[in-house]
A and B are shown apart, each in its own frame.
Chain A
């Protein structure tokens, strides 16, 4: 359990270095961090709903809303999707890191 149940999958080290070098103040840096955080949450949710059968969406949303930190959410998703959800999300997050780096460097 962490603040968000998938937090341990999100490690964007290269993005971290780039943002540190670009931001000229701590306020600016924090604003960029939060924007990236918001991008991640939306993308992860999209990835979850892509693999979760429609009939379970409301139940997952209710559980997620009540305890977004709860590690049991992974077990719930594994059971309902019959997939290795951590692996799926890790791959999506890696792809997202590349997209963000492209935005930064591009």
Chain B
């Protein structure tokens, strides 16, 4: 039997205390590990202090360096070993033409896309260079037919190539339950215990529009919390990212989805960089797909004409693709 309404405050109180207690414990732990390293190695503490950097926040420092395009410009290192020499768009065009000649045009565009990824992307995901992103923008525009941008209106994610992990359904309105989110295998992930970063999608079941249902169904999670200017540019950034459309492309099979950003995360220490709703993950890689490498770019869609959901590009004619690539 469930709790009486008059007893639910017990849950609220307990949850709040748990979270506060954990925060205090983690703060103590953080203090302890910091004291250990700087106690043993005071010159390390001095090094960081002289440069005004808290080593605990080295991620922010790194994000700033990457944001300024320092990836291949470091003086102390050779260019990263995983940076490949990129083919030019005409070289790619030749490659596609050859593929068509070989297979009489029957080769699927997904296969071409995957082969292209294999030839230009590093095996281990990492933030891409601007040149790599520009090349992918052209490829997506011409092969998938979606105007996708790594940088849109001056905004850029902390990484555009990384691992996506399976997320749960988000509570859309007070009282929402997982059984309201469809049927079958996609219900298996269950409901996230907390709300998404933008709270409820609507205040009641009645006010939930079809568009908002689609937003939750095809939602993506990105690490807005690690953007170097996230705290400084509020509330602008929070509004800018809310339900922002992104193109997610599975680099292993070419499956692509247009999704909307509806939560922040995952934590940097999970080995993942993005998250996808059960529906997004199911389309990208099937019902057992829990984690995989993807590219995520913003969709340049100011007139809101591109629908959320799977991108069906298998039926587009290769000939038109080649003409477009030539432009």
Contact = CB atoms under 8 A, between A and B. Distances in A.
Interface residues of A, number: 57
- Contact residues of A: prevailing secondary structure: helix
A35 B23 contact: yes
Contact of B268 (A29, A32, A37, A66): A37
Interface residues of B, number: 67
Interface of B: 15-16, 18-19, 22-23, 25-27, 29-30, 33-34, 36-37, 40-41, 43-44, 47, 51, 53-59, 61-63, 65-66, 70-71, 74-78, 80-82, 122, 124-127, 158-159, 192-197, 225-226, 263-271
A8 B30 contact: no
A84 B15 CA distance: 42
A3 B33 contact: no
Given A16-B267, A29-B194, A8 B124 contact: yes
Interface of A: 1-4, 7-8, 10-13, 15-16, 19-26, 28-43, 45-46, 49-50, 57-58, 61-63, 65-72, 99-100, 103-104
B197 A46 contact: no
B225 A3 contact: no
Closest 3 pairs (CB-CB, A-B)? A38-B56, A11-B271, A46-B37
Contacts of B37: 42-43, 45-46, 49
Contact of A65 (B53, B66, B226): B53
8 contacts: A33-B267, A35-B29, A37-B56, A37-B268, A39-B56, A58-B43, A61-B47, A63-B76
Contact of B194 (A23, A33, A34): A23
A2 B44 contact: no
Contacts of B226: 3
